[in-house]
């Protein structure tokens, strides 16, 4: 594994050439490397066009600025993701599609050595500017990771697989670099959530495979992920559904034209820290007891090999908060979208 840079800053390293860059001063070489990786990738139709289009978007400073702004505002979903990434990472950790290193920083803060990889040098550079604890970065393609087989204890990937119809190939490549006994922790869009929206209103405007590159979203079920990974010796250990309020296919289908005002009010309510804390607690304590289609996203945790003694402890939920007018209103909006799926007896567990 690579050595840290002597100046204590995050290092950008090319594993293939074993040449350490301590700054982003050689961006011309980095951009040429990106172009070689893109040109070397297999080309087969519209899925690859989507891939190249999205990869191109992530190179621009405007896209980086929008991403940094979007992730600088705390949300319940982001809290869930960061807590579980921190709780389930162990040893040498690879963060695939790391972007600005949000999860890399969280895992590194726990003392684990981390390698963040992304196709966008601009994204990685933005992460370097705010990193407080050293971790490694590499500009590379996730379809062909420049790492040997079975070299990482954990592979994590968030906000990444949803962009690509070729997500099975990306999972296989992540599995390749994972050690026996290692953990694969990935976020995917919950296919059951989309299917529930379609069941309510078949014509509602959210497609699985939109022809417009910027709007493509890959929806995945746990069974589909298992079908890809079990032949490679990875077995499902945990499935966590989450994310009620970033966007919501069920609410969109049920509310129709009223959805925009619904989501805008929800997002305004979620600016209140007590309201976020309430729903963060809800998503950990109550959501697992609701239908598997309720949450928009899933965190899937796989282990390479069968180890019956391995432990996957859940992070501690935040403490309870007293019900406020903001929280009561958010519960009303939840019921407007989901109907009667929430028994009053379950809410008593939030106290």
pLDDT (0 to 100) of residue 36: 39
Residue 167: give its domain's CATH number.
Answer: 3.40.50.150
In a domain, 19, yes or no: yes
Query: What is the DSSP pairing of strand 234-242 with strand 219-220?
Result: unpaired
What Å distances lie between residue 253 and 53, 153, 225, 260, 270, CA to CA? Answer: 29, 41, 26, 11, 22
Dihedral (Cα; 340, 345, 350, 351), 10-degree rounding: 140
Q: Compute the distance between CA of residue 221 and CA of residue 206 in angstroms, rounded to an integer.
A: 17
In a domain, 277, yes or no: no
Cα dihedral sign, 227-228-234-235: negative
Specify the long-range contacts of residues 327-331, CB closer than 8 Å, at least 24 apart.
327/274, 327/275, 327/278, 329/265, 329/269, 330/266, 330/269, 330/270, 330/275, 330/278, 330/279
Cβ 76 vs Cβ 154: under 8 Å? no
Compute how many other C-beta atoms are within 10 angstroms of the C-beta atom of residue 314.
Answer: 14
pLDDT in tens, the chain (351 residues): 443 433 333 344 443 333 223 233 333 343 334 333 333 333 334 445 656 666 676 777 787 888 888 788 899 999 999 999 999 999 999 999 999 999 999 999 999 999 999 999 888 988 888 877 878 999 999 999 999 999 999 999 999 999 888 899 999 999 999 999 999 999 999 999 999 999 998 876 554 444 444 557 889 999 999 999 999 999 999 999 999 999 899 999 999 889 999 999 999 999 999 999 999 999 999 999 999 999 999 999 999 997 766 777 889 999 999 999 999 999 999 999 998 888 888 888 887
Residue closest to 247 by CA, chosen among 189, 292, 288, 300? 189
pTM equals 0.83
In a domain, 87, yes or no: yes
CB-based contacts of 36, cutoff 8 Å, min separation 6: none
Domain span at residue 252 reads: 11-259+285-319
Cβ 122 vs Cβ 57: under 8 Å? no
Residue closest to 160 by CA, chosen among 35, 235, 54, 79? 54
What Å distances lie between residue 326 and 95, 315, 321, CA to CA? Answer: 36, 26, 12
Number of domains the chain is built from:
1
Using DSSP's 3-state secondary structure scheme, residue 136 falls into: strand
User: CA neighbours within 13 Å on the CB side: how many for 176?
Assistant: 15
pLDDT (0 to 100) of residue 85: 95
């Amino acid at each position: 594994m690579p050595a840290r840079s002597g100046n204590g800053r995050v290092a950008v390293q090319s594993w293939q050439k074993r040449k350490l860059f301590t700054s982003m001063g050689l961006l011309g070489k980095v951009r040429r490397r990106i172009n070689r990786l893109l040109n070397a990738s297999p080309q087969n139709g519209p899925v690859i066009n989507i891939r190249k289009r999205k990869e191109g978007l992530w190179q621009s400073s405007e896209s980086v600025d929008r991403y940094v702004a979007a992730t600088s505002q705390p949300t319940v979903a982001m809290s869930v993701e960061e807590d579980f990434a921190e709780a389930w990472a162990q040893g040498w950790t690879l963060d695939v599609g790391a972007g600005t290193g949000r999860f890399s920083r969280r895992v590194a803060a726990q003392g684990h050595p981390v390698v963040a990889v992304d196709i966008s040098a601009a994204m990685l550079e933005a992460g370097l500017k705010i990193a407080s604890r050293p971790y490694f970065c590499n500009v590379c393609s996730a379809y062909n990771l420049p790492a040997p087989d079975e070299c990482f204890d954990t592979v994590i990937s968030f906000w990444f697989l949803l962009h690509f119809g070729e997500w099975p190939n990306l999972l296989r490549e992540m599995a390749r670099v994972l050690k026996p006994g290692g953990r694969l922790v990935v976020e995917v869009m919950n296919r059951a959530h989309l299917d529930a929206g379609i069941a309510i209103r078949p014509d509602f405007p959210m497609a699985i495979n939109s022809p417009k590159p910027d709007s493509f979203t890959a929806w995945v079920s746990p069974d589909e992920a298992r079908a890809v990974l079990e032949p490679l010796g990875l077995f499902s250990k945990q499935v966590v559904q989450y994310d009620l309020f970033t966007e919501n296919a069920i609410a969109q289908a049920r509310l129709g034209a009223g959805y925009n005002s619904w989501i805008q009010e929800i997002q305004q309510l979620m600016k209140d820290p007590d309201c976020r804390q309430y729903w963060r607690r809800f998503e950990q304590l109550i959501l697992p007891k609701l239908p598997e289609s309720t949450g928009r996203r899933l965190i899937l945790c796989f282990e390479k090999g069968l180890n019956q003694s391995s432990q996957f402890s859940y992070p501690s939920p935040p403490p309870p908060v007293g019900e406020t007018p903001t929280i009561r209103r958010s519960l009303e909006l939840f019921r407007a979208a989901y109907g009667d799926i929430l028994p009053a007896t379950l809410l008593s567990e939030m106290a």
